[in-house]
């Protein structure tokens, strides 16, 4: 019998990828998914799946806080883009973890573990709550050191730019640039790499080619088709576009 799974991840593309991989295994039925952790709480209160694949870092409500709201908790496989969250506590019998980007062999391993745990009988809610408490405390004590400046190479020289000065990063013609103080600086990282390296409380990906410093937002307006226009409070009042598939996450992060 297939496992019944519910998926929670605030990143739509990550959610879609996980669904595709789970379907490829042929071992799991996805009974529901959402990018909104509060919506997930309501869904999981009405029906408890066999397993919940759950992102850790989400705006407003992280994965551990979400679980704490549930009276009955399913087995959980945590997903995270941050290796710092791959704590030893995840290896106990009532949970597993996957590092993003999730690969098929990782997923097969986690499914096998969940199937084994189910055959042993469901763990007590007391055990699950104890695990949740330990994980929450461990993550609170884990400090991620995000950089406060970034290097830009110009010939044989390196320029160091303070990240609070950077309004946004953008990719163009296979290169990545940082915009700061009305100038642009070439940096040796892709947008995806910067998204993982920089503080997610400050920088948010609004387009496949744009990473925005939310402290520089002046105003936001809606665009036809579901996208958004962001006007920055730099000297040029730069306009940037939030892609339609990222608009919901963007609104959630900014609380509107």
- In this structure, the answer to whether residues 172 and 120 fall within a common structural domain is no
Q: Do residues 119 and 224 share a domain?
A: no
- Summarize pLDDT for 121-146 with one digit per residue, the tens: 655 555 555 655 555 555 555 555 68
Mean pLDDT of 31-58: 90
pLDDT of residue 91: 41
The answer on 169 and 236 residing in a single domain is: yes
CATH of the domain at 214: 2.40.50.1020
Q: Which domain holds residue 111?
A: 3-141
Average pLDDT, integer, range 104-130: 74
- The answer to whether 221 and 229 are in contact (CB under 8 A) is yes
Round to whole Å and give the CA distance between 106 and 112. 10
Q: Kindly tell me the sign of the dihedral angle through the C-alpha atoms of 130, 134, 140, 146.
A: negative
Sign of CA dihedral 205, 211, 217, 219: negative
106 and 31 belong to one structural domain: yes
Q: What's the confidence (pLDDT) of residue 40?
A: 94
Strand bridging mode 166-172 / 175-180: antiparallel
Per-residue pLDDT band for 94 (boundaries 50, 70, 90) equals: very low
Task: Please tell me the total count of domains within the chain.
Answer: 2
**φ, ψ dihedrals at 213, nearest 5°:** -85, 110
Model's pTM, two decimal places? 0.53
Within this chain, do residues 236 and 135 fall inside the same structural domain, yes or no? no
């Amino acid at each position: 019998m297939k496992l019944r799974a519910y998926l929670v991840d605030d990143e739509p593309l990550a959610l879609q990828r996980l669904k595709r991989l789970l379907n490829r295994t042929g071992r799991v039925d996805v009974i529901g998914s959402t990018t909104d952790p509060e919506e997930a709480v309501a869904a999981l209160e009405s029906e408890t799946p066999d397993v919940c694949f759950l992102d850790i870092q989400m705006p407003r409500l992280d994965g551990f806080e979400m679980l704490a709201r549930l009276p009955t908790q399913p087995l959980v496989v945590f997903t995270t883009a941050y290796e710092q969250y791959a704590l030893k506590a995840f290896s106990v019998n009532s949970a597993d973890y996957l590092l993003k980007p999730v690969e098929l062999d990782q997923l097969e391993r986690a499914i096998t573990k969940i199937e084994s745990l189910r055959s042993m009988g469901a763990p007590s809610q007391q055990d699950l709550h104890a695990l949740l408490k330990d994980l929450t405390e461990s993550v609170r004590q884990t400090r991620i050191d995000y950089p406060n400046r970034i290097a830009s190479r110009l010939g044989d020289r390196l320029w160091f730019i303070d990240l609070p000065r950077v309004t946004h990063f953008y990719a163009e013609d296979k290169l990545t640039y940082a915009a700061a103080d009305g100038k642009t600086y070439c940096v040796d990282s892709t947008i995806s790499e910067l998204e993982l390296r920089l503080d997610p409380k400050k920088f948010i990906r609004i387009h496949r080619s744009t990473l925005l410093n939310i402290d520089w937002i002046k105003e936001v307006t809606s665009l036809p088709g579901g996208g958004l226009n962001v006007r920055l409070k730099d000297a040029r009042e730069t306009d940037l576009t939030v892609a339609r598939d990222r608009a919901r996450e963007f609104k959630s992060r900014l609380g509107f």
